[in-house]
Structure 1
Amino acid sequence: MRAGERFGVELLQRRATGLITEGDRCTGVQLENGTISAGIVLLAMGPWTGLASEWCGVNIPVTPLRGQILRLRSENKALNMAVNYAHSYVATKTDGLIWAGTTEEEAGFDESTTSEARDSIMADFMKMIPGMDDAELVQQTACLRPLSADGMPIVDKVTGWDNLFVATGAGRKGILWSTGMAQVMFDLIDKGKSDVDGSDHLKLDRF
């Protein structure tokens, strides 16, 4: 987003409540307290993207997947690498803390943290880094990830619409796959197709 702002993009934090349409075209977005006109609309609403199914009349099978993370402080030397074990990982982040995670929970839109997740993550953390039993829990957080029905991203033009697109559904790999998804979406908007390998498997009509 910061890169977009450097190129003149204006970011507005508003709650969208629907689409403004004319025939098979989407001409804007209805907000809670206003509207935004648009020549192209991209549905990239994270775990809330599935709510747009009612707006466009097309099923977008995306649900929230909760993931919890522990931020830890240790007197030992910070890790200079990431360590992975099963579905968990440990890495030192730019805030100087050790981040350990994560969970994959079907909890709806509940963003609360749980003691069960804390204990599970700590158990995996000690298996990966047994020499850090002095680690102090600084913060426990939870986030919601957009997960498609088959766990793979959806990057496509919305069926039946001329200028409505969707990019979502990558689950816990969203950050890793974001640049590739962005390239596919740019291609689709710019020239109607993408030459990125595997992009055909990201179509909405596979469901």
Structure 2
Amino acid sequence: MVRLDENEISFPDPEAYDGHEGLIAFGGDLSVERIWFAYQLGIFPWYNPGEEILWWCPDPRFVLFPDEIRISKSMRKILNREVFTFSENQNFRDVIYNCQQARRKDQNGTWLSDELMESFIKLHEYGLARSIEVWQEGELVGGFYGLQIGHVFCGESMFAKVSNASKAGFIHFVENNKNHLELIDCQSHTEHLESLGARMIPKKEFLKILHENNERR
């Protein structure tokens, strides 16, 4: 595992370097420039606030190809009944705050530190991060955010205050972006996203797609 220099924005080659369970580096900082560079390489930060920053590129990688999204009959009925309405980039700050506050199974506290939140808010202000908001009767009840790198969307976190809100938002996002999205990076496995069609692919395949995407941008 490589220690990063705070004064130099660089990472080990994730294709050539296999760390323990995908952990390839630690240290550095959470500057907008470093985060943006990391995601273009397929690397993301994931650590406990107050501890050393850890940088990951797991093998295999959990992703969703938009054409493979699975929509259950019950979810299709919810979407057809227009139980929810959706918007994009209207409340990025509220979405990321709710993602930070969400309580998750088998997880104490949150990995989303205030410093990391502020960096993503700046990335949003630069037009590099997107949020999807899910509304019900005028109230924000779900959503998610991530980075848009060309034709690849790097999903970060989602939340739901009512049943099916985040699922509905994710399906809406995929269906409305199929024509210009090649891949959605989900990073690590969740049953929630697996039920929607996400699956594991080898890191090598993921990095090849990402590299080709970067060249086309």
TM normalised by structure 1 equals 0.26
TM normalised by structure 2 equals 0.26
- Which fold has the larger relative contact order, with Cα–Cα distance below 8 Å and residues 6 or more apart in sequence? 2
**Which structure carries more helix by proportion?**
2
